[in-house]
Amino acid sequence: MNNKQCTIAKPVSFEGKGLHTGKKIKVTLKPAVANSGISFTRVDLNNRLTIKTIVESVLNLPRSPRRTSIGIDCAHVHTVEHFMAALFCKGIDNLFVEIDNEEMPGLDGSAKEYLDILSKVELKELDALKKEFLVKEPVFVEDKDSFIAAFPSNELRISYTLSYNHSYLNCQYLDLVATPEAIEKGIISARTFCLEEEAETLKRSGLGKGADYDNTLVVGKNGVIKNKLRFDDEFVRHKVLDLIGDLCLFGMGIKAHIVALKSGHNLNIKLLKKLRSQQAKYQTSGVGSGGHFSVKEGDMLNVEQIQEILPHRNPFLFLDKVTEIIPGKKAVGIKNVTMNDYFFKGHFPQRPVMPGVIIVEAMAQLGGVLMLSETGNRGKLAFFMAINKAKFRKPVVPGDQLIMEVEVGKIKSRTGQVITKAYVDGKVVAEADLMFALVE
Q: Interhelix angle for 81-90 vs 234-247, to 10°? A: 80
What are the backbone angles phi and psi of residue 410, rounded to the nearest 5°? -140, 135
3-state secondary structure of 432: strand
Annotated catalytic residue: which of 238, 265, 292, 312?
265
What are the backbone angles phi and psi of residue 405, rounded to the nearest 5°? -120, 135
* CA 106 distance to own-chain centroid: 25
Q: How many CA atoms lie within 13 A of 129 on its CB side?
A: 19
- Residue 265: count other Cβ atoms within 10 Å of its Cβ: 20
347 tagged catalytic:
yes
- Residue 274: count other Cβ atoms within 10 Å of its Cβ: 15
* Cα 100 from Cα 51, distance rounded (Å): 14
* Cα 214 from Cα 243, distance rounded (Å): 22
Structure letter (DSSP) for residue 103: B
78 tagged catalytic:
no
> CA end-to-end span of the chain, whole Å?
26
Q: Which residues of 100-139 are buried (b: 16+ CB within 10 A; e: fewer)?
A: bbbbbbbbbbbbbbbbebbeebebeebebbbbbbbbbeeb
Q: Which amino acid, one-letter code, is at 354?
A: M
DSSP 129-187: EPPEEE--S-EEEEETTEEEEEE--SS-EEEEEEE-SSSSSSEEEEEEE--HHHHHHHT
User: Which residues are designated catalytic?
Assistant: 265, 347
